[in-house]
Amino acid sequence: MKNKYNELKKILNKSKRIVLTTHLIPDGDAIGSELAVYRYLKDKGKDVTIINHSVTPDNLIFLDKKNIIRYFREDIENCTKIIKKADLILILDTNEYSRVKSMEKAVRESAAIKVCIDHHLGKNQFDLLISDTNYPATSQILYEWICNDNPKYITPFIAKCLYAGIMTDTGSFRYPRTNEKTLEICADLIRKGADPVKIYDDIYCNIAKGKVKLLARFIESFSFHFDDTVIIGVVTQKDFEEFHSDVQDVEGFSSFIMNIKNIKVGMVLVELRDSIKISFRSKGNIHINEFAKIFNGGGHKNAAGGTSFDKSIDTVKRKLLEKYRQFQSL
C-alpha cells in the first residue's frame, strides 16, 4: 500500500482541480471518506468538489453541516462542467463506475486521471487503484494514506469523519475484518478529536418513526427455513409508501436478522420499482457471495448482494429456497 500512497502523492502534486465521488445510497464510510479527503485536500490548497448521485442520508448530515456535498441531479449542467474540467477524480468506497449512477457518463468521459480508493472485490479500471479487501473500511485506508503524508493533517473534523466511516463499516467494531489495527487507528482518531459517544448517538440514536414502523412490518414478514437456520425478510413498495420511508431506511435490516439465534444465512428482499434487490448475509464458512452470483450479484464471503428482475416476491422467494437447497448440498 505504501507504494500506492506515494504514487497518489505524485499525482496529487500535479492536480489542482479535484472531484470526489462515491456510490449511490452512500453509507457512513462513503460520506466519512469523502468529507475527510475533502478537508485534507482543501488544507493542502486544492480546489475540491464533492459530487454525489444520491442525497446524504439524514443520519449522516451532521458530518456535512456546511453543505459541502453537491448532488449531480440537482445541477447536471454545472456538475458536468466541474467533472469535465477536473484533472483528478477520486472515486471512494466503490470500484464500479455503474455505482456512481447518473454521474457515470460524465465521470467516464472526463479526461481527468481517475483514482479509486476502496476495499471491495473488483477489477482495476482506473489509472490507479488503491484497494485491499482486508480493510474493514475505506476510511481505514484513508487514515493510513493521510498519515503516510503527515499525521498532522488529521484535524478533529477529519478524525470525526474517519471514525464515523470505520465505526459504521465495522458494524460498531464487530464485523469479521475488524482487527487490532482498526482499534489502534480509532484510538488515535479519538486522541485527535473524534468523540465516540457523540458520533454513535448522531448516527444510530435517531431512528425516524417511519423506519421503526417499517422495521415492525419487516419483522412480521420473516419466514424461517432449513431448520430455522435460514431467514427471509421482505420489504415492499407498499410498505415504503405506507410509512413514508424509502430504500435508505432498510439500512441495517440485514445485519439485524443475523442477531437471531441459530441463523446462519439471512436474505432480505427489497422491492424496488423495476426489480427486487436482495441482500445476503451469512456466518462462518458459508460463501454467500458464491450464492449471490446465481442472482446477478456478488460481494464478500459473509455479505453480498444481488438483483432479481422477476418482480413477484413469492416467485423470488421460491427460487431462493430452491437454489439454496442445491447450493447447500454442493
- Chain residues that interact with Mn ion, rule: CB under 5 A: 29, 93, 138, 169
Residue 28 CB, nearest approach to Mn ion (Å): 8
Q: For Mn ion, give the closer residue by CB, 29 or 34.
A: 29
Q: Which segments of the chain are extended strands (E)?
A: 17-22, 47-52, 70-71, 88-92, 113-118, 128-131, 223-225, 230-235, 265-271, 276-282, 298-299, 303-308
Q: For Mn ion, give the closer residue by CB, 34 or 169.
A: 169
Rounded to whole angstroms, how far apart are CA atoms 32 and 192?
16
Residue 168 CB, nearest approach to Mn ion (Å): 8
Q: For Mn ion, give the closer residue by CB, 36 or 79.
A: 36
| CA dihedral (86, 38, 34, 143) positive or negative | positive
**Strand 303-308 to strand 276-282: parallel, antiparallel, or no bridges (unpaired)?**
antiparallel
Residue 137 CB, nearest approach to Mn ion (Å): 5
Residue 127 CB, nearest approach to Mn ion (Å): 21
Q: For Mn ion, give the closer residue by CB, 33 or 308.
A: 33
Residue 101 CB, nearest approach to Mn ion (Å): 17
Structural contact between residues 229 and 258, judged by C-beta atoms closer than 8 angstroms: no
Q: For Mn ion, give the closer residue by CB, 217 or 300.
A: 300
Neighbour-count burial for 268-300, b at 16+ CB within 10 Å, e otherwise: bbbbeeeebbbbbbbeeebebbebbeebebbbb
